[in-house]
């Protein structure tokens, strides 16, 4: 006898036989494959519940980490066999039917024999087939707890439409087992789990039912009601029915023609002269129905573990509510599924893909799942700045004691930038120009010079500093300025990076990374982007534009010890001191080509 403690009240009947909830118990209602298939094919909500999470788990796919030629070969194999698409299909079948498999075919191997990975060479992968749990028969489950295949069937069997049977060893199968059932007495019976629609069945059905009932109310939104004295007498005979039908057919025609309804009598109750037909119109109030429908959809979304924003592709309304936190939480959940569910399941397939691509298993090859949540351009710039600041702090920027040598940090920092995609083309530039570690001989020469008490860059005497870049396509900007009515244009168009009244060691300002400028030290500000023409300082018109590189370079020199008269730095080109009507000027939107940095002592004039 099982005794369960619960709260009881003899006064209210709570928890006793008088309590109406006492008779309520949970039961298991099996939803068969035919109904599951019908739900997926005919109900939009059920289809989204099945498809969305597999689509998101495979949408951005993964980033292989290996040598460049190895990555190219692995990605070529994935593309040839459509691995991304087939994993997505397997996950969808898995969620719909409660189980699915991907059968791995190896050239020259008997599929019924255990897979020997050492025999998988370059080009060995022959096919990948996706099947649902209902497309395969399975042998007895392996119950030997010492076996690495514990819980899997001894074999899979596939029957063709011609009746041919093929057995496949479990080591050649990527196995997905649906929604996990924790009762081993159930799962060990056939090795499969539940469909996700089994779990959300009631929630999806209630949402679909609510939608259908609301739709059914729309034709009934407005109803005309007419009270007719002696209606039952008219309806009792065929002649009366005909007379009644003709009466309101003509009345309806009159209403359509003259936008009015003609009735007999005054509409007063009774049977005398004052009595007659009475007309009313009733209208259904839909005010609370959208909120009611939304609640049903929220319950379905919660049951499926999919945020409502992702389920409906509709951003929330309301002040300060953009749904980013909910979406980010959802994508964090999907990322966790990738790591804990998809990665272990695909281990066998990945081992085959790597060997079939490069011919051997290099232990240095691995992959990371690509991020699902993308930062905005502003957030990316802020993150990049934080990384750069952290790197400076580690190597001892601004005169601080270094934590680790720059050479030790260089490779790790460059790899991080490449993986994050902060600087497109960085990897190719590094191959061309080399890393800091490749400049060891120059560092040794520098140390030798210091040891000999020679004057070197690190010991340069402090002095005031003015850094600029000359505009190389100045003719294009002058042509634009004249067309806008700007006169007395400055003879030397340039962009000021820094002017420091405080003396500083110029060498500490460093140099712009090779990957940010060409071999001649030139940089190009692409066409477009924010551009404005405004007064600044003693100038009546300057062309202001955005450039993260110039802004970062300015801050870098400030951190090295330079001063600056203004709290904020804005890249700009000084145009004229003459009178200008700024309201009529259309900013220059073409590209701006800037020459190499020029360091000079500051001239107060």
DSSP 114: P
Dihedral sign (CA 346, 349, 355, 357): negative
Residue 182: the pLDDT is 83
Q: Does domain 460-600 have CATH number 3.90.1140.10?
A: yes
Are the C-beta atoms of residues 64 and 75 closer than 8 Å to each other?
yes
Count other C-beta atoms under 10 Å from residue 207's C-beta: 24
Residues 6+ apart with CB under 8 A from 148: none
Helix (H, G, I), strand (E, B) or coil at 551: helix
Residue 102: the pLDDT is 97
Half-sphere exposure of 561 (CA within 13 A, CB side): 17
Domains in the chain: boundaries: 33-200, 222-283, 377-451, 460-600
**pTM confidence score:** 0.58
Of 551, 578, 561, nearest to 489 (Cα)? 578
How sure is the predictor about 455, in pLDDT bands with cuts at 50, 70 and 90?
very low
Distance CA 93, CA 50 (A): 8
Distance CA 538, CA 356 (A): 68
How sure is the predictor about 155, in pLDDT bands with cuts at 50, 70 and 90?
very high
Please state the φ and ψ torsions of residue 442, each to the nearest 5 degrees.
Answer: -65, -40
328-385 residue pLDDT tens: 889 999 999 999 999 999 999 999 999 999 999 999 999 999 888 766 666 677 777 7
Are the C-beta atoms of residues 572 and 542 closer than 8 Å to each other?
yes
Residues 6+ apart with CB under 8 A from 576: 481, 486, 487, 488, 489, 490, 539, 540, 541
Long-range contacts, 119-122 (Cβ 8 Å, 24+):
120/351, 120/352, 120/355, 120/356, 121/355, 121/356, 121/359, 122/355, 122/356, 122/357, 122/358, 122/359
DSSP 598: E
CA distances from 222 to 86, 225, 228 (A): 51, 10, 20
Checking if the pLDDT of 407 tops 80, the result is no
Three-class HEC string of 386-454: HHHHHHHHHHCHHHCCCCCCHHHHHHHHHHHHHHHCCCCCHHHHHHHHCCHHHHHHHHHHHHHHHHCCC
Q: Which residue has the higher pLDDT, 511 or 256?
A: 511
Q: Which residue has the higher pLDDT, 422 or 164?
A: 164
DSSP 375: P
How sure is the predictor about 457, in pLDDT bands with cuts at 50, 70 and 90?
very low
Residues 6+ apart with CB under 8 A from 88: 54, 55, 57, 58
Of 277, 279, 281, 273, nearest to 229 (Cα)? 277
191-221 residue pLDDT tens: 899 999 998 998 888 888 887 777 777 766 6
Between helix 196-217 and helix 83-97 the angle, nearest 10°, is: 80
Helix and strand totals (H; E) in the chain: 19, 18
Of 362, 372, 256, 253, nearest to 310 (Cα)? 372
Are the C-beta atoms of residues 581 and 484 closer than 8 Å to each other?
no
Residue 70: the pLDDT is 94
Residue 450: the pLDDT is 46
Distance CA 124, CA 122 (A): 6
DSSP 338: I
């Amino acid at each position: 006898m099982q005794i369960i403690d619960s709260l009881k009240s003899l006064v209210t009947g709570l928890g006793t036989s008088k309590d109406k909830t006492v008779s309520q118990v949970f039961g298991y209602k099996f939803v068969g494959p035919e109904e599951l298939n019908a739900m997926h094919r005919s109900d939009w909500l059920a289809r989204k519940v099945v498809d969305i999470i597999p689509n998101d788990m495979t949408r951005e796919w993964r980033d292989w980490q290996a040598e460049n030629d190895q990555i190219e070969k692995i990605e070529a194999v994935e593309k040839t066999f459509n691995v991304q698409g087939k994993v997505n299909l397997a996950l969808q079948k898995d969620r719909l039917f409660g189980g699915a498999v991907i059968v791995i075919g190896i050239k020259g191997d008997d599929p019924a024999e255990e897979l020997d990975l050492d025999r998988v060479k370059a080009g060995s992968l022959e096919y990948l087939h996706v099947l649902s749990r209902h497309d395969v028969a399975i042998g007895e489950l392996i119950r030997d707890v010492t076996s690495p295949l514990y819980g899997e069937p001894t074999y899979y069997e596939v029957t063709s439409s011609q009746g041919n049977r093929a057995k496949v060893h479990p080591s050649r199968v990527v196995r997905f087992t649906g929604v996990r059932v924790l009762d081993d007495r159930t799962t060990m019976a056939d090795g499969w789990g539940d469909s996700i629609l089994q779990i959300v069945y009631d929630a999806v059905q209630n949402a679909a039912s609510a939608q259908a009932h609301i739709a059914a109310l729309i034709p009934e939104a407005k109803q005309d009601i007419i009270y007719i004295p002696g209606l039952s007498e008219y309806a009792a005979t065929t002649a009366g029915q005909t007379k009644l039908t003709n009466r309101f057919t003509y009345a309806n025609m009159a209403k359509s023609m003259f936008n009015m309804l003609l009735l007999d009598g005054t509409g007063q109750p009774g049977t005398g002269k004052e009595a007659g037909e009475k007309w009313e119109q009733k209208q259904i109030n839909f005010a609370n129905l959208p909120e009611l429908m939304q609640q049903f959809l929220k319950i379905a979304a919660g049951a499926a573990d999919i945020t409502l924003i992702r389920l409906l592709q509709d951003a929330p309304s309301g002040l300060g509510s953009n749904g980013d936190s909910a979406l980010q939480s959802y994508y964090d959940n999907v990322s966790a599924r990738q790591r804990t569910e998809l990665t272990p399941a695909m281990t066998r397939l990945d081992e085959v893909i790597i060997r079939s691509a490069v011919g051997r298993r290099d232990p240095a090859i691995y992959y990371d799942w690509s991020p699902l949540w993308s930062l905005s351009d502003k957030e990316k710039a802020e993150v990049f700045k934080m990384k750069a600041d952290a790197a400076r702090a580690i190597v001892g920027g601004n005169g601080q004691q270094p934590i680790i040598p720059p050479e030790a940090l260089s490779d790790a920092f460059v790899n991080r930038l490449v993986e994050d995609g902060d600087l497109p083309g960085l990897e190719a530039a590094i191959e061309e120009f080399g890393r800091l570690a490749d400049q060891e001989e120059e560092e040794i020469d520098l140390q030798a010079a210091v040891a000999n008490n020679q004057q070197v860059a690190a010991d340069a005497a402090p002095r005031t500093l003015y850094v600029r870049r000359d505009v190389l396509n100045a003719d294009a900007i002058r042509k634009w300025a004249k067309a806008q009515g700007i006169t007395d244009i400055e003879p030397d168009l340039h962009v000021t990076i820094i002017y420091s009244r405080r003396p500083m060691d110029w060498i500490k300002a460093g140099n712009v990374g090779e990957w940010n400028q060409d071999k001649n030290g030139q940089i190009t500000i692409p066409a477009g982007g924010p551009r404005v023409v405004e007064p600044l300082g003693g100038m009546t018109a300057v062309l202001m534009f955005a450039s993260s590189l110039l802004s970062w370079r300015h801050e870098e020199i400030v951190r090295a010890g330079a001063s600056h008269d203004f709290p904020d730095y804005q890249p700009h080109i000084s145009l004229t001191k003459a009178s200008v009507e700024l309201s009529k000027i259309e900013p220059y939107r073409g590209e701006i080509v800037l020459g190499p940095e020029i360091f000079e002592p500051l001239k107060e004039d």
